[in-house]
Amino acid sequence: MQVHQKNITGRIVVILLILFFTSSNLFADEVSEIRTMTKEKVDIVINILKDKSLSKDEKKEGILETIDGLFDFNLMARLSLGKKHWKSLTKEKRKEFSNLFVERLKLSYLEKLDLYTDEEVIVDEARLTKKKRVEVLTYLVTKDDKKEMIYKLYKTKKKGWMVYDVDVLGVSIVQTYRSQFSGVLKKETMEQLMERMRSSGDLGA
């Protein structure tokens, strides 16, 4: 009787333990979904770049369409300006700044793609960094080197996971713009900064 009892208890414990460990995969699944989604988008972009039948403008259009749903550009604008300066702006100014910034960011991204030749992108692992933040590790591989690029995503309420920053070789796009904007705004007013962004596509650099 005792032995029998032990057996049943043991079985229950084993079964529950199995369930216990598999349940943690609920989340692992979501992370791997994010990885898959990122990989899909990256593959679409690469395929567009490789497609010789498309004109340059068609390529740009297709790529922007692909990344629009992946990147939260407005959040990137807010983060790049930083809390202090963002708060000091009116709603209209915020929108205007966002638009200027996003245009610039897209332009810079597209220009970088002009350098594309035969690189492959390896989408490595996705990892959870903290609540609602996932980093997807990717490598841009050429014949003689391998550049690490990390896409940082967060969970939005309505549109799923979106990118809010990209690290290229450890250099964060948002952080770099943040330092620059705050540097410029120590010497100039917000108006002057936005005037520079309006008048020249490349801010006079």
Partner 1 sequence: MLIQSSKIISFFVIISFFLHPLMLNPLFAQEESNEYAQTHSESETDEEFDGEEFDDGFEDEFESGDEEIFDPLSGYNSVMTEFNDGFYIFVLDPVARGYEWVMPDLAQRGVKNFFHNLLFPIRFVNNALQLKPINAGEELFRFVLNSTVGIFGLWDPAKEWFGLEAHEEDFGQTLGYYGIGGGFHIVLPFLGPSNLRDMFSLYPDMQIDPVYYFDNRPYNFPKMEGEYLGMSRQSLQQTNLLMLKTVNQESLRIGQYENLKKDAIELYPFLRDVYEQNRAKLIEE
Q: Interface with partner 1 includes 2 (CB under 8 A)? A: yes
Alpha helices in the chain (DSSP H): 2-23, 25-50, 56-68, 73-81, 83-87, 91-113, 173-187, 190-199
Q: How far is the CB of 31 from partner 1 (least distance, A)?
A: 10
Q: How far is the CB of 43 from partner 1 (least distance, A)?
A: 23
Interface with partner 1 (CB under 8 A), residue from 32, 47, 156, 189:
156
DSSP codes joined into one string, 1-31: -HHHHHHHHHHHHHHHHHHHHHHTHHHHHHH
Q: How far is the CB of 20 from partner 1 (least distance, A)?
A: 5
Q: Which is nearer to partner 1, 43 or 148 (CB)?
A: 148
Q: Which is nearer to partner 1, 44 or 99 (CB)?
A: 99
Q: What are phi and psi of 95, to 5 degrees?
A: -65, -45
Q: Which two tokens stand for residue 4?
A: 């029998």
Q: Interface with partner 1 includes 74 (CB under 8 A)? A: yes
**Which residues touch 42 (CB under 8 Å, ≥6 apart)?**
121, 123, 138
Q: Interface with partner 1 includes 99 (CB under 8 A)? A: no
Q: How far is the CB of 100 from partner 1 (least distance, A)?
A: 12
Amino acid at 25: N
Q: How far is the CB of 97 from partner 1 (least distance, A)?
A: 10
How many other C-beta atoms are found inside a 10 Å radius of the C-beta of residue 186?
7
Q: How far is the CB of 108 from partner 1 (least distance, A)?
A: 6
Query: Hey, which residues between 167 and 196 contact partner 1 (CB under 8 A)?
Result: 167, 169-184, 196
Query: Hey, which residues between 103 and 132 contact partner 1 (CB under 8 A)?
Result: 108, 111-112, 114-115, 128, 130-132
**Which residues touch 178 (CB under 8 Å, ≥6 apart)?**
79, 80, 81, 82
* Residue window 8-47: x/- pattern of binding to partner 1, with contact defined by CB under 8 A: xx--xx--xx-xx--xx-xx--x-----------------
Using the structure block, give the residue that is written with the tokens 């003689």: 144
Q: Interface with partner 1 includes 75 (CB under 8 A)? A: yes
